[in-house]
Amino acid sequence: MEKARERIPVVAANWKMNKTCAETVNFLSQFLYMVEDVNAQVEVLVFPPFTALRSATTFLQAEKPRKIFPEIGAQNMHWEDSGAFTGEISPLMLKELGIHHVIIGHSERRNLFKEDENSILKKVEAAIRHQMTPIICVGEKFQEREEGLTEEVVKNQLLSILQLFKKTEFTDFMIAYEPVWAIGTGVAASPEDASDVCRYIRALIGSIISPDVAAKVRILYGGSVDVKNFRDFILEPDIDGGLVGTSSLDLKKFVELVKIAGNYG
């Protein structure tokens, strides 16, 4: 049965530490060519490494807008506008490049770079201050899932963030539910399990912020999404798209994912 779409589906490519400037522009130019005739409503977000952001936005500015047209986002940012933070990139620097989307709290940032809830909250605060759309990543580790703690973990990761949004008028954000054990492993969650967690997240947004915001926010699933399993995720009523790592690096697969999200493939 075809799903009635209340929310525009999103396909977001998290390239992590992959692709040079030249590879990024080459990918985007071929992508535009390959989706030229695709008449579907899909929001496509591409998150290249920082070094390729300027090339990507400059390239896209010179292209004709069309039905499917990627927006470029950043994989991370610091919460301050400037200062003595060696190696960091500020929201102002991203805004200058025309960047309006930023991934915050990806599990690789949390686990490999020791980002904690406090710094993630400050980043979300900075995104709100700069009217940028954060894609806030949450998800449990394998052991936590085994212990039946998934909802508790996700709730703890989201509570102060949702309370922060409640205090502002700005509620343009997305949540990516990414079970840590499914990221880059080739073992995805089942669509039913992912959907249960996404439904739980939506209910949490409804109870903390408002039912209106809960109905509007896009909740994505991430973790070993590929062309074989994506349709099943996207058919779930509470899953509005995918945050995709590995499969987004391959142009043909990425185009296919975009078509699937638009019910075109």
Name the CA dihedral angle for 185, 191, 196, 201, rounded to a multiple of 10 degrees.
60
| 178 lies in the site for ligand PEP, by CB under 6 A | yes
Pick from 247, 239, 156: nearest CA to 195: 239
Count of positions on this chain that bind ligand PEP (CB under 6 A): 13
Question: Does position 183 bind ligand PEP by CB under 6 A?
Answer: yes
Asked if 43 is an active-site residue, the reply is no
Token pair 């003595």: residue: 84
Spatial neighbors of 143 by CB under 8 A, at least 6 apart, are none
Does 190 interact with ligand PEP (rule: CB under 6 A)? no
Residue 258 sits in the site that holds ligand PEP (CB under 6 A): no
Identity of the residue, 159 or 227, whose beta carbon is nearer to ligand PEP in the bound complex: 227
130 among known catalytic residues = no
Residues 6-25 that bind ligand PEP (CB under 6 A): 14
Looking at 106, 115, 130, 140, which residue is catalytic?
A: 106
Which residues have CB under 8 Å from 228's CB, separation 6+?
Answer: none
> Does 244 participate in binding ligand PEP (rule CB under 6 A)?
yes
> Which backbone phi and psi does 235 adopt, to 5 degrees?
-75, -15
List the structure tokens of 125.
């605060």
Nearer CB in complex with ligand PEP: 133/247: 247
Q: Residues for the chain: how many in total?
A: 265
Does 133 sit near ligand PEP (CB under 6 A)? no
Sign (positive or negative) of CA dihedral 248, 128, 100, 80: negative
Tell the smallest beta-carbon distance from residue 225 to ligand PEP (Å): 5
Residues forming the site for ligand PEP (CB under 6 A): 14, 178, 183-184, 222-225, 243-247
Active site positions, annotated: 106, 178
